[in-house]
Amino acid sequence: MINAGKVIDNTSFSNNTSENSIAKIQSPIKEESTHNIENTSDLADYNYAIIDDKLIEEQIKIRNSLIDSGDWTEIRGGTTDKSSYGSWEADFRKRMTPLKGQIVVTGYKGNKDDITIPSCVNDKKVVAIGVGAFFNNKLKKVNIPNSVVFLCSHSMPKTLESMEIPANVKIIDDYCFKSTSLKSITIPKTVEEVGYYAFDLGQLQSVTIESGSTKIGAGAFEYNHISTLNLPNDIKTIPDWTFANNSLETLKLPDSVTEIGESAFENSGLTSVSIGKKVSKIGVEAFTSNHLTEITIPNNVDEIGEYAFSDNNFTSVTMPKKFSDEKDTYFNDEEDSTDLSDVKFNLI
């Protein structure tokens, strides 16, 4: 784990969405022979259901309805094409199927703003927080039991200020924490996937991702106020838009990183960047619209996308000779062709 105050260190995000890469949730680990029902006095304040095929299809309809409402302009992978609904639906069925026969919490109808979700109901474990479960609530704090393995799409309210993700959670689905009021979050090492735009448009200032998180969706942490980032040492890919539009200052990528996605750090307040020696691909507009004055591009880089470093304040650039003829493409943008005559280019 690399601790960084206004320093980014990234290590093992993978954005592969093939069928084989889909995190498949297993039934929760048995923690004890009997399961106590927490909060028995207010159990009636919760909506919940046993997971079966009918429930899964109902959850899919709720999610698509939320998308259709117009509050969620991007669906998956930065597209508004509704054909991507099918991709999410297939993934959702695969993730929910192993949880059949157990409990999903689908809503809260009480009047508290600080709740503790039951860990089991009628001796059946609560294993998921359903699609849109608390979306329209005014909850400020949600305490999730260790039995939960799946936090579904759109499940958390905009008013949410405090939540600890339990150690058994496997999946944080698309849009799960979008637009919440959380100031900090820790992603446990047990989490196998953080979905598309999962924490998008929030108030996050501090993010910790423990070693072991293997898949981060595009735009997962964009449009926040992140200035402190604690990331693991095994990142290989930084997906598109992951940390765009934040308040980072210094970024140091470890040598394990091999690919930086499109707009991954666009407009993130960066004044200093150190690119790891194993990076082979830097995506389109990856570092555009920052405050960089110098950069060293390692010789191992084979591909640089258009405008990758545009709209900065460079005075010195060290880069491989093989890119020298195309430097205008990387350091200028399509609308404003900046004069690079004052930039010192050191070719390696």
Secondary structure of residue 311 in the 3-state scheme: coil
Task: Please tell me the pTM assigned to this model.
Answer: 0.85
Q: Residue 5 above 50 pLDDT?
A: no
Percent of the chain with pLDDT over 90: 70
DSSP characters for 78-117?
TB--TTHHHHHHHHHHHHHGGGTTSEEEEEE-SS-SEEE-
Kindly state the helix (H) or strand (E) to which residue 252 belongs, with its residue range. Answer: strand 250-252
- Least-confidence region, from 83-87, 109-113, 173-177, 263-267: 83-87
Which pLDDT belongs to residue 266?
Answer: 97
Mean pLDDT score of the chain, rounded to an integer?
86
Where are the domains positioned within the chain?
Answer: 36-248, 251-348
Reported as a pLDDT band with limits 50, 70 and 90, residue 76 is: very low
Which pLDDT belongs to residue 42?
Answer: 86
Beta bridge partners of 319: 347
Q: Residue 249 above 50 pLDDT?
A: yes
Mean pLDDT value across residues 37-65: 89
Q: Residue 15 above 50 pLDDT?
A: no
Nearest to 188 by CA among 218, 152, 155, 230: 230
pLDDT digits over 207-239, tens only? 998 888 668 999 999 999 999 888 788 888 999
| Residue 165 CA: distances (Å) to CA of 46, 162, 170 | 20, 10, 10
Reported as a pLDDT band with limits 50, 70 and 90, residue 71 is: low
Which pLDDT belongs to residue 340?
Answer: 83
Percent of the chain with pLDDT over 70: 81
Q: Which two tokens stand for residue 211?
A: 């070693």
Q: Do 61 and 141 form a contact (C-beta atoms < 8 A)?
A: no
Q: Residue 17 above 60 pLDDT?
A: no
Query: Cα 196 to the chain's mean position, in Å?
Result: 6
Q: Which two tokens stand for residue 301?
A: 């880089």
Which of 4-8, 9-13, 31-35, 340-344 holds the top average pLDDT?
340-344
Q: Residue 125 above 70 pLDDT?
A: yes
Q: Describe the chain by its helix, strand, coil percentages, rounded to 5.
A: 15, 20, 60
Question: Could you give the count of Cα atoms lying within 13 Å of 20 in the half-sphere of its Cβ?
Answer: 0
Q: Do 249 and 228 form a contact (C-beta atoms < 8 A)?
A: no
